[in-house]
Amino acid sequence: MSFENGEATLSGGATRLWSRRNFGGLAGYAGIWLFLAIFLIYPLIRLFYDAFTDDANAFTLMNFSDFFTDTYYLKATINSLLLGVATVITTSLIGIPFAFLLLRYEFPGRGLFSYLSIIPMIMPPLVGVMGFVFIMGRAGTVNVILMDYLGFAKPVNFMYGIHGVLIVETLHLFPLMTLSIVDAMGKISPSLDEAAESVGSRGLRKFWDITFPLTTPGYVAGALLVFIWTFADFATPLVVGIDDLLASQAYLNIVQFVDRRLFKMGIVISAIMILLAIVFLIVAKRYVAQKDYSSLSYSVIERRTLSTAGNIGVVVFLSSVLIAAFIPYFGIILDSFGKGWALTPFPVKYTMQYFERVSIETPKFILNSLLYSGISVAICIVFGVPIAWVMARTKLPGRDTLDSLTTLILALPGTGIGIAYLRAFRDPFPFTETALIGMWLVIPIVLGIRRLPYTVRGTFASLLIVHKSFEEAAESVGAKKTVTFKDVTLPLIWKGVLVGSLYSFILALQEASATLLLVVPGHEMMPVGIFNFYMGGSVNEAAALGLILIVLGAVCLFAINKITGAKAGGVFG
């Protein structure tokens, strides 16, 4: 992995750039670009091409004019934006205090809370909303108790409607916000906070004037992720019967092939979603670029202790949020063991039959999940580590674009990518007979692309901490760049790479937006299996498979925690 570095070229003379040794490096760099060009840029271009052409491949703006003159789609657009903004607000209201309390205060159970606060993240799509419905639905535990024991005439509608989507997204995504803030706060020198105290600023005032503004880059990054995630989620709205959102419309229209006009609208909606995501990304980047205050000083601030009342207040707040966030877990556990559970607070009969069915009859879901997530992580490492290295250590042309591209991936809605792939790879490659769509390989590739940013960021962050002089020292005693990377850089950054990869792995395990559209028969992964079980009426099996997936995710998370100690937010920034 030897990429020539601009500075070295200057000092070493022009001939070095073209020495044989560098040829391999440049070829590798070209390989990275080729990979991104084929599997990221081309599908997106193809999607836009389709959106701007009619069935006869002639250029047209009709599709967009259809979209923008249809009040229903406009309503869906506004609803999606509002839902995204609302989720950002609610996750902020929960996520920011969480981050602040966990970082700055000492209270009973702080360690436990900080571990538990990440757990809601590992809830796979669809499973979360299922779990909520089991507990909070019209016939869920809470309503059954309200009606059968507390005399309510009608169930309280917690779930069915846009507010249900908001509840599910909020309790699923607030950890993303917490992690982003924790990460950002960790990078801010504590003396900035102390300086504020020394001039008399304290409490909320200090938070609003000093602490929060300094964490804006992290906050904006977290907010963007939350926004895009909500924006792109179609599973949750569909379960609670909400159709008038962009992601739902994109999904419903694209899987509906009968009416070509609707199908085309699915493509157009995906293109519009991607465009909107890119706009938000650019705005966020602009904003963050002006305000990067991180000092990379990971010094620790002394945690404040609280009064007894303060302790109680904090523990009650954190516990109630976490209990709410864990509702789907209770629901999933009950439903995966409960037989024929309906209209009683808890299942009356318990069984292992669902687990037997999913684990004995369809172990392929689990195997496929592990295998494809594994391959996708390999892809992430093979391409992500060099990309991070190029970004951190070289002045190669195109490195800024690499940075933008990997960030762009974070903002791309999974549905959009899935649809772009569907359009881009349905024809066979040149000189071959099979199209990528329909080969199992498409699944790990799309997962790899989708999760690439986590590896890139994890590695990049580690590389920033490893001072360049370590590498220069190795080179000064005669090690070539390749050897230096292997013997010096890699041992110093492997933790960052590993953590980034584990995150990629967890998220790959749970991916069900792009992969759901690209399903290859016989090669379904667990989330697709969950979807198939659920859609096929086997809700209990879906819950059982969901529970297995959650446990897998929790194991990975535990591993991350073991590896990194407490600091796990870095790759989310």
Partner 1 sequence: MKKVLIVAVLFTAMVFGCLGTGNAQTIENELYLITPVSKDVHDPVLKAFAEYAKKKFNVDVKTSAIPKGTPVAYGQIIEWKGNPQADIFWGGEGTLFDDLAAQGLLEKIQLPKKMWDEIPESIGKPVPLPLKDPKQFWVGTMLEPYGIIYQPKLVKRLGVEIKDWDDLLNPKLKGQIAQCTPDRSSSSHATVEVVLMTHGWEKGWDWMRKLAANTGIFTARSRDVPSVVAKGEFAVGFGVPSYMAFAEVLGGYDVMYVYPSNAYVTPEPMSVLKGAPHAKAAHAFIEFLLSEDGQKLISQLGVYPVTPKYKVQGAPGSNQEKAVAFTGGMRSFFDIQVGNVYNVQQAGDKKRIEDVNSYFRKEITEKHKDIVKEK
Partner 2 sequence: MNIELKDIVKSFGSLEAVSHVSLDIKDGELFTLLGPPGCGKTTILRLIGGFHEANSGRILFDGKPVMGKPPYERNIGMVFQNYALWPHMTNAENVAYGLKIKKVPRNEIVERVNHALGKVNLEGLGDRYPGQLSGGQQQRVALARALVLNPGVLLLDEPLSNLDAKIRLQVRAEIRKLQKDLGITTVYVTHDQEEALTLSDRIAVLNHGELQQVGTPWELYERPANPFVADFIGINNLIPGEIRETEDNGKRAKVATKFGVLLGACDSRLKIGDKCTVCVRPETAAIGERKNGASENMIPGAISFASFIGNTMRYDIDIGENTILRVDIQNPRNHSPHDIGDKVNVVFSTATTLAIPS
Contact 413, 274 (CB under 8 A): yes
Instruction: Indicate the angle between helix axes 308-337 and 539-564, nearest 10 degrees.
Output: 140
Contact map string, positions 489 to 528, toward partner 1, x by CB under 8 A:
------------------------------xxxx-x----
Nearest residue (CB) to partner 2, 214 versus 380: 214
Q: Which stretch binds partner 1 (CB under 8 A): 38-46, 254-262, 404-412, 454-462?
A: 254-262
Task: Rule CB under 8 A: choose which of 162, 210, 396, 479 binds partner 2.
Answer: 210
Nearest residue (CB) to partner 2, 213 versus 536: 213
Alpha carbons 141 and 348: distance in angstroms, whole number: 12
Residue 527, exposed/middle/buried by CB under 10 A (0-12, 13-18, 19+)? buried
Contacts of 38 (CB under 8 A, 6+ apart): none
Task: Rule CB under 8 A: choose which of 7, 19, 37, 72 binds partner 1.
Answer: 72
Q: Can you spell out the DSSP letters for 192-260?
A: HHHHHHHTT--HHHHIIIIIHHHTHHHHHHHHHHHHHHHHH--HHHHHTT---SHHHHHHHHHT--SSH
Q: Which stretch binds partner 1 (CB under 8 A): 42-50, 234-242, 274-282, 507-515?
A: 234-242
Residue 72 interacts with, from partner 2, partner 1, none (CB under 5-8 Å by kind):
partner 1
Please give the DSSP secondary-structure letter assigned to residue 339: E
- Does the footprint of partner 1 cover residue 136 (CB under 8 A)? no
Residue 480 interacts with, from partner 2, partner 1, none (CB under 5-8 Å by kind):
none
**Minimum separation from the CB atom of position 89 to partner 2 (A):** 22
**Minimum separation from the CB atom of position 246 to partner 1 (A):** 15
Which two tokens mark 109?
A: 């159970």
Which two tokens mark 561?
A: 């925690």
* CA separation, residue 6 to residues 11, 32, 84, 185, 462 (Å): 9, 19, 42, 33, 21
Nearest residue (CB) to partner 2, 4 versus 193: 193
Which two tokens mark 542?
A: 């879906």
Alpha carbons 203 and 470: distance in angstroms, whole number: 42
Contacts of 204 (CB under 8 A, 6+ apart): none
In a 13 Å sphere around the CA of 125, the CA atoms on its Cβ side amount to 27
Residue 15 interacts with, from partner 2, partner 1, none (CB under 5-8 Å by kind):
none
Task: Rule CB under 8 A: choose which of 154, 202, 349, 562 binds partner 2.
Answer: 202
Give me the count of residues in the chain.
Answer: 573
- Does the footprint of partner 2 cover residue 106 (CB under 8 A)? no
Task: Rule CB under 8 A: choose which of 286, 426, 467, 486 binds partner 1.
Answer: 426
Contact map string, positions 281 to 320, toward partner 2, x by CB under 8 A:
----------x-x-x-x----x------------------
Q: Which stretch binds partner 1 (CB under 8 A): 8-16, 36-44, 233-241, 296-304?
A: 233-241
Nearest residue (CB) to partner 1, 72 versus 208: 72
Residue 403 interacts with, from partner 2, partner 1, none (CB under 5-8 Å by kind):
none
- Does the footprint of partner 1 cover residue 256 (CB under 8 A)? yes
Rounded to the nearest 5 percent, the helix, strand and coil shares of the chain are: 75, 0, 25
Task: Rule CB under 8 A: choose which of 7, 55, 106, 197 binds partner 2.
Answer: 197
Give the CA-trace dihedral at 192, 198, 199, 201, to 10 degrees: 70
Alpha carbons 389 and 382: distance in angstroms, whole number: 12
Q: Which stretch binds partner 1 (CB under 8 A): 51-59, 164-172, 434-442, 501-509?
A: 434-442
Alpha carbons 231 and 212: distance in angstroms, whole number: 25
Please give the DSSP secondary-structure letter assigned to residue 71: H
For residues 119-130, b (16+ Cβ closer than 10 Å) or e, as one string? bbbbbbbbbbbb
Contacts of 339 (CB under 8 A, 6+ apart): 347, 349, 350, 351, 353, 540
- Does the footprint of partner 1 cover residue 28 (CB under 8 A)? yes
Window 216 to 245, contacts with partner 2 (CB under 8 A): 216
Q: Which residue has the tokens 């792109």?
A: 232
**Minimum separation from the CB atom of position 409 to partner 1 (A):** 19
- Does the footprint of partner 2 cover residue 209 (CB under 8 A)? yes
**Minimum separation from the CB atom of position 217 to partner 2 (A):** 11
Nearest residue (CB) to partner 2, 205 versus 486: 205
**Minimum separation from the CB atom of position 302 to partner 2 (A):** 7
Which two tokens mark 358?
A: 């999913």
Contacts of 19 (CB under 8 A, 6+ apart): none
Nearest residue (CB) to partner 1, 134 versus 219: 134
Nearest residue (CB) to partner 2, 19 versus 299: 299
- Does the footprint of partner 2 cover residue 55 (CB under 8 A)? no
Per the DSSP assignment, residues forming a β-bridge with 350 are 338
- Does the footprint of partner 1 cover residue 440 (CB under 8 A)? yes
Window 274 to 333, contacts with partner 1 (CB under 8 A): none
Task: Rule CB under 8 A: choose which of 310, 363, 491, 536 binds partner 1.
Answer: 536
Q: What is the CA radius of gyration of the chain?
A: 25
Q: Can you spell out the DSSP letters for 136-181?
A: HSTTSHHHHHHHHTT--SS---SSSSHHHHHHHHHHHHHHHHHHHH
Contact 375, 444 (CB under 8 A): yes
Task: Rule CB under 8 A: choose which of 194, 356, 427, 487 binds partner 2.
Answer: 194
Site residues (vs partner 2, CB under 8 A)? 189, 191-192, 194-202, 205, 209-210, 213-214, 216, 291, 293, 295, 297, 302
Applying CB under 8 A, which residues contact partner 1?
Answer: 1, 27-28, 31, 72, 133-134, 137-139, 160, 238-241, 243-244, 252, 255-259, 262-263, 339-343, 349, 375, 378-379, 382, 386, 426, 435, 438, 440-441, 519-522, 524, 532-540
